Chains A and B, each alone.
Chain A
């Protein structure tokens, strides 16, 4: 075909088309179909006997192959094909409402969210404890501990136990007591 115009065909080509494809124009090659129809119209004396012979063979083949209709797909096979088609098709898109109803944080965060969450929580608690420590954990200075009468009594008890009654714990006398003994 050139410039969209089909070339004309002669008797020889017309006979060859029928020899291969039979009398039914729908089976003829698309590129030559119109030209073959033109030949048929222009040369009926040549075309008609060829068409009649080809048509007779077409019918004989059709009759011989009618057994195909008896060997159609069974209902079970047809159902299986449809089932496979449904399972092979992509899943239907979910509506926005369905997607929101089914939303889970794990979907958003991914599958390995637990270790990351634990680490973040530990970091947060650490920072919180660090900033609040001066008020929450009041360690006393050393002078205050030494002046504590409870601590002093415990030290005397320990010396008595370790060194006996003569080993008095030498502690500096209080200024007011020194003044009184004078």
Chain B
């Protein structure tokens, strides 16, 4: 996972420094912004859309809007949450057009690579991961977005609140509900076995 536990907030600070430099006309700051933000942004969009190719379009469109915002003058919000918010809105639009707002998105091909001590344990672990992945994809969009942004992308509760247009307390509630739901899924599957 991209989260760096030793430097919480450091990535956000580095991104904001680059965004300020870009807004000041420093052309050397533009491509590093792509390097730092594009992989996570694409990962987030791919998970929301369950479609890596469509997520590339969303990533490209989000960056095109970021460049326009930077060219227009000082940005009204920090660049990282601004970009994720733009990408999420684009994803939500696409999901609505698909008619899959509360979708059960197709799970990507399984690529779990954790070594397991025995074939039985490996099979059980793969099944548990597949079940949990389906449970994540079945979460309501706001719970899923909050979980992906905080757990996978390492954004803070405050940044996630800005992206979801919610309070930090509301984000905490979304996260707690998402995790309770996933824990219930795991418990149910374990009791079946």
Q: Which residues of A line the B interface, CB within 8 A?
A: 16, 19-22, 24-27, 29-30, 33, 57-58, 60-74, 77-78, 80-82, 84-86, 88-92
* A-side interface mostly: helix
* Cβ contact within 8 Å between A84 and B5: no
Q: What is the CA–CA distance of A89 and B156 in the complex, to the nearest angstrom? A: 29
* B-side interface mostly: helix
Residues of B within 8 A of A64 (CB): 129-130, 132-133, 136
* Cβ contact within 8 Å between A89 and B30: yes
Q: What is the CA–CA distance of A122 and B110 in the complex, to the nearest angstrom? A: 83
* Cβ contact within 8 Å between A78 and B38: yes
CB of B96 closer than 8 Å to a CB of A: no
Residues of B within 8 A of A19 (CB): 176, 179-180
Q: Which of A30, A67, A90 has a CB less than 8 Å from the CB of B8?
A: A30
Number of A-B contacts (CB under 8 A): 147
Q: What is the CA–CA distance of A115 and B46 in the complex, to the nearest angstrom? A: 60
* Cβ contact within 8 Å between A81 and B132: no
Q: Which of A33, A63, A72, A77 has a CB less than 8 Å from the CB of B125?
A: A63
Q: A65-B133, A84-B67 are in contact. Are A60 and B110 (CB under 8 A)?
A: no
Q: Which residues of B line the A interface, CB within 8 A?
A: 1, 3-6, 8-9, 22, 25, 27, 30-31, 33-34, 38-39, 42-43, 46-47, 52, 55-56, 59-60, 63-64, 67, 70-71, 107-114, 125, 128-130, 132-133, 136, 147-148, 150-152, 154, 156-158, 168, 172-173, 175-176, 179-180, 182-183, 186
Nearest to A88 among chain B residues (CB) is B67
Q: A21-B175, A68-B152, A88-B67 are in contact. Are A73 and B39 (CB under 8 A)?
A: yes
Q: A66-B113, A70-B111 are in contact. Are A85 and B5 (CB under 8 A)?
A: no
What's the least CB distance linking B138 to chain A, in Å?
Answer: 12
